[in-house]
Structure formats: C-alpha cells, structure tokens
C-alpha cells in the first residue's frame, strides 16, 4: 500500500517545475525591490545623505562628481532609497542583475544609471559549455545564504539540470567554479588549489555581495574582499543573497540561453 500511496501523492502533485524561462518569470516579493537605478543628475548640489547610511560603503560622492553606487557591494537594504530626498535612487523590481565586468555594476553617471547586463560567453566557450556546464561550488567565508539559494536551483521548482547545469563533487570534473563568500584568508589556499585543479578552459562565477567585493565584511583584515583577489571572475551576480531567479538569470545569460527562447 505504501508504495502505491506514494505514487498517488506524487501523481496528484503533478509537475512542480516552473515554466520560466519559456513562460513568465516568478514574481519577486513586493518588498524585495529588485535592482536599483541611480539617476545622479537628480542629486541636489552637495547632498550626501545616502553616503553615511550605506552599511557596506557602496555609495560614494567625491566633491564635484556625481554620486556612484556600486551594486557589487550593495546588500539591497534600501536604506539609501528611503533617505534620498530627490528620488535619485529607485528600485526597479527587476530580478536581472548579473554582469560580466565589475565596472558594469557601478551606477550613477549619465548613461550608466542602470546595470549593464552580462553578455554571453564567446562562441568557442558557448559551444563547449552552452548545453552542458559542470560547476564546482566553493564557499569561502560565505554565511550559507548564497549557498542555500544556489542549492535551491537544484530543487524540483527550479530544476537547474534541465539546462544541462550541474554541481559536481570534484574540481577535476568541473568546467568552472561558483564562488560564494568574501574569501576569508583561511580559505585562500583551498580556493587557489580548487581553481588550479579545474581543467582549462574554465569559468568563474562570483555569487553575492561577499564574493564580489567582501559584502558586509569589506575591509576586514581577515578577508580578501571577494573572489577577484584570487582568481579571474567571468560573471558577477549581486545580492545578499541574490534571489535564486537572479542567479539562474545570470547562468543562462552567460551561456547565451536566454535570447534563444
């Protein structure tokens, strides 16, 4: 009976994998806010209100220059959005945030109000990885949240393996690394060894504010302020942690899997 019951329950539930990316993306929680947009032209002369409220020092405004918000450092607390008297910093509700170049996360000046989203890998790498990408995950000073929201992509709701993307148990089996955490000094050697053990050509994906720039721990002497200090990074996915949808978007964008749909 037991086996029969289990099968019946399973049939009743049906397919629980989301339609995205063929169908619409699931909605972000309304209080999430999504990516930020910074229109520095709106800033009042000499206004610095957003700078001191940012917990990760992601916002700077050197004298005489427009305000600059580094979304790589941002933990999306929206304290700056609340405090800005001019409405220069706004939430877009957009889950898409992954970029290929670190500087594409710096928002503010004219023409750079929003994130410059990631381009796909070049033709050669796309041919290699586009339909089959094996990643080794390294947590290096991560708090477990980026790890958890990466892990969730493997569950039935997201079913990452339908895109040919899988996490593997050895760097020798991998095409690249997915790194989380601010890269503690105590993980430097292990991260370097893992990277060296991945056969070339290989790619590196940095997930979360910590892996991009140190996150809430930026500047601590015990950390190296992100993955770029140890290995070259090919994709940056901002957030604290990034929503699973943001991570998935980044992976598919990198593989050039979004424009085909």
Partner 1 sequence: MMNPSLEFALLANATSILWADVPAWPAAEFVRATATELNRGARLCAWFGVPEGSGTCLVAVLAFDADNTLAVGRSAPFTGSYPSLTVTHPQAHLFEREVWEQHGLTPEGHPWLKPVRRSNGNAPANGEFFRVEGGEVHEVAVGPVHAGIIEPGHFRFQCAGEEVLHLEIALGYQHRGVEEALTSGPHRATMSQMETVAGDTTIAHATAHATVMEALAGTEAPLRAQWLRAIALELERLANHTGDMGALAGDVAFLPTSSACGKIRGDFLNLTALICGNRFGRGLVRPGGCRHDLEPARAAQLIERLKTALADTEQAVAWFWDAASVRARFENVGIVFPAQAAEIGLVGPAARACGLVRDVRYDHPAGWHRFAQAPVAVWPSGDVFARARVRSLEIQRSGEYLREQLVAPADGDMRSELAPPAPETFAVALVEGWRGEVCHVALTDAAGRFRRYKIIDPSFHNWIGMTLALRGTAISDFPICNKSFSLSYCGFDL
Where do contacts with partner 1 occur on this chain (CB under 8 A)? 2, 5-6, 9-10, 13, 16, 29-33, 52, 54-57, 75-78, 136-152, 154-157, 167, 169-171, 181-182, 184-190, 192, 194, 210, 215-218, 220-223, 240-241, 243-244
Least distance between partner 1 and beta carbon 220 (Å): 4
Closer residue to partner 1, CB minimum distance, 127 or 192: 192
The number of angstroms, rounded, from the C-alpha of 202 to the middle of its chain's C-alpha atoms is 18
Least distance between partner 1 and beta carbon 193 (Å): 8
Closer residue to partner 1, CB minimum distance, 68 or 152: 152
List of residues 6+ apart from 58 with CB closer than 8 A: 69, 70, 71, 72, 73, 74, 75
Which 8-state DSSP code applies to residue 116? -
Least distance between partner 1 and beta carbon 2 (Å): 6
**C-alpha Rg value of the chain to the nearest Å:** 20
Closer residue to partner 1, CB minimum distance, 184 or 228: 184
Burial (CB count within 10 angstroms: exposed 0-12, middle 13-18, buried 19+), residue 21? middle
Q: Which phi and psi angles does 90 have, rounded to 5°?
A: -130, 155
Q: Are strands 165-167 and 133-139 parallel, antiparallel or unpaired?
A: parallel
Closer residue to partner 1, CB minimum distance, 18 or 47: 18
Closer residue to partner 1, CB minimum distance, 100 or 243: 243
What DSSP letter does each residue of 22-88 carry, written as one string? TSPPPPPPTTT--SEEE-GGGPPTT--THHHH-TT--EE--TTS--EEETTT-----HHHHH-SS--
Closer residue to partner 1, CB minimum distance, 40 or 54: 54
**Cβ atoms 26, 157 nearer than 8 A:** no
Least distance between partner 1 and beta carbon 147 (Å): 5
Q: Are strands 176-180 and 165-167 parallel, antiparallel or unpaired?
A: unpaired
Least distance between partner 1 and beta carbon 18 (Å): 10
What sign does the CA torsion over 179, 183, 186, 192 have? positive
Least distance between partner 1 and beta carbon 81 (Å): 12
Least distance between partner 1 and beta carbon 127 (Å): 27
Least distance between partner 1 and beta carbon 39 (Å): 22
Q: Which phi and psi angles does 223 have, rounded to 5°?
A: -130, 170
Closer residue to partner 1, CB minimum distance, 64 or 219: 219
What DSSP letter does each residue of 121-132 carry, written as one string? PPHHHHHHHTT-
Closer residue to partner 1, CB minimum distance, 130 or 141: 141
């Amino acid at each position: 009976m037991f086996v029969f019951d289990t099968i019946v329950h399973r049939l009743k539930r049906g397919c629980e994998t989301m339609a995205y990316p063929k169908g619409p993306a699931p909605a972000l929680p309304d209080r999430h806010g999504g990516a930020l947009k910074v229109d520095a032209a709106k800033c009042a002369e000499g206004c610095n209100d957003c700078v001191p409220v940012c917990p990760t020092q992601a916002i700077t405004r050197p004298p005489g220059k427009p305000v600059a918000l580094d979304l790589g450092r941002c933990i999306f607390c929206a304290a700056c959005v609340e405090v800005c008297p001019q409405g220069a910093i706004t939430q877009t509700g957009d889950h898409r945030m992954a970029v290929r170049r670190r500087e594409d996360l710096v928002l503010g000046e004219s023409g750079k109000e929003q994130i410059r989203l990631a381009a796909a890998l070049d033709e050669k790498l796309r041919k290699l990885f586009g339909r089959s990408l094996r990643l080794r995950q390294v947590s290096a000073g991560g708090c477990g949240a980026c790890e958890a929201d990466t892990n969730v992509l493997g569950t039935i709701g997201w079913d990452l393996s339908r895109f040919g993307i899988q996490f593997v148990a050895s760097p020798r089996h991998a095409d690249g690394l997915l790194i989380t955490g601010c890269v503690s000094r105590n993980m430097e050697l292990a991260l370097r060894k893992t990277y060296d053990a991945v056969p070339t050509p290989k790619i590196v994906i940095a997930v979360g504010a910590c892996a991009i720039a140190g996150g809430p721990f930026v500047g601590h002497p015990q950390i190296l302020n992100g993955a770029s200090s140890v290995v070259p990074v090919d994709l940056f996915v901002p957030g604290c942690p990034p929503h699973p949808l943001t991570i998935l978007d980044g992976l598919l964008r990198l593989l050039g899997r979004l424009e085909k749909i």
